[in-house]
Amino acid sequence: MSAAGQPKLIVAGDAEALALAAAERVMARIAANPSRIAICLTGGSSPKKLYQLLGSDAWRGKIPWDRVHWFIGDERFVPETDPLNNMAVARATFLDRNAPAGHLHPIPTVVENPDEGAAAYAHELQAFYGSDQLDPARPLFDLVLMGAGPDGHTASLFPGYPEIEETRRWAVGVPKANVAPFVPRISLTLPALASCREMLFEIAGHDKQPILTRLLNGENLPALRARSNGETVWLVDRAALPEEFRGPR
């Protein structure tokens, strides 16, 4: 994992230490950019402790909220009020109390279908970026947060599905999910997600050991194919790390 071009593997002692390490990396990326900052969030269970931390009294005062814009890498095609909505969870946990409303960029789901929502979000991203063509020298995002599902999916890019092969569009509709909840999705594509200074995976919990074993062994799954044009980091707690990859305590 330490070879050039490979993800950097960082092991945290437990889920709390992982959230703390993730928060420190978020703050480091914010500190590295003195102008407008773009952070792409993720859904699922992995980032919840991180979001709670960023919204806590100890951390929220460190964030220059007037300079940070918040996006999201994928969304379930459900209303914003639905508990399954990824951005709604992030908003309720830490964003709505702190971030200016104009700095929140949820994926639209009150549209006819996921393809329409994907096209609208791609247009919003391109307007923010100032171009409809990604320049490798000018990343779209400062930081992209990611997770890995039990089947090796990341964002809503599922193994064996055609959306993982998309190279032209920035966002795509996903008509059927490969894992629960089985609702349609909208996802950024690999090229859009790659346009970042850092891609940070959070992988925590004993139930992630099977998929992490497959990823560490190099299986060609979406979570392994997702790479930043800058730095890619896998932040893993010891419960998720397979025994054969553990060093001494």
Closest CA relative to residue 128, chosen from 112, 117, 139, 136: 139
Q: Residue 9 is inside which H or E element, if any?
A: strand 8-12
Q: What is the pLDDT of residue 46?
A: 81
Q: Give the C-alpha separation, 147 to 17, whole Å.
A: 17
Closest CA relative to residue 225, chosen from 151, 171, 164: 164
Q: Give the C-alpha separation, 203 to 53, whole Å.
A: 17
Q: Is 59 helix (H, G, I), strand (E, B) or coil?
A: helix
- Evaluate whether 223 touches 148 at the Cβ level (below 8 Å): yes
Task: Give the bridge partners for 201, in sequence order.
Answer: 146, 234
Q: What is the pLDDT of residue 248?
A: 57
Q: What is the pLDDT of residue 26?
A: 98
Q: Is 74 helix (H, G, I), strand (E, B) or coil?
A: strand
Q: What is the pLDDT of residue 2?
A: 34
- Evaluate whether 9 touches 229 at the Cβ level (below 8 Å): no
Q: DSSP letter at 86?
A: H
Closest CA relative to residue 244, chosen from 221, 225, 204, 217: 217
Q: Give the C-alpha separation, 31 to 35, whole Å.
A: 10
Return per-residue pLDDT of the chain as tens, 249 residues: 333 357 999 999 999 999 999 999 999 999 999 999 999 999 987 899 999 999 999 999 999 999 999 999 999 999 999 999 999 999 999 999 999 999 999 999 999 999 999 999 999 999 999 999 999 999 999 999 999 999 999 999 999 999 999 999 999 999 999 999 999 999 999 999 999 999 999 999 999 999 999 999 999 999 999 999 999 999 999 999 998 887 655
Task: Give the bridge partners for 72, in sequence order.
Answer: 41
Which pairs count as long-range contacts for 122-128, CB under 8 Å and 24+ apart, including other chains?
122/169, 122/170, 122/171, 122/192, 125/71, 125/170, 125/171, 125/192, 126/170, 128/38, 128/69
Q: What is the pLDDT of residue 1?
A: 36
Q: What is the pLDDT of residue 181?
A: 92
- Evaluate whether 95 touches 70 at the Cβ level (below 8 Å): yes
Q: What is the pLDDT of residue 6?
A: 78
Burial of 102 (0-12, 13-18, 19+ CB in 10 A): exposed
Q: How many other CB atoms are found less than 10 A from the CB of residue 242? A: 16
- Evaluate whether 138 touches 114 at the Cβ level (below 8 Å): no
The pTM of this model reads: 0.95
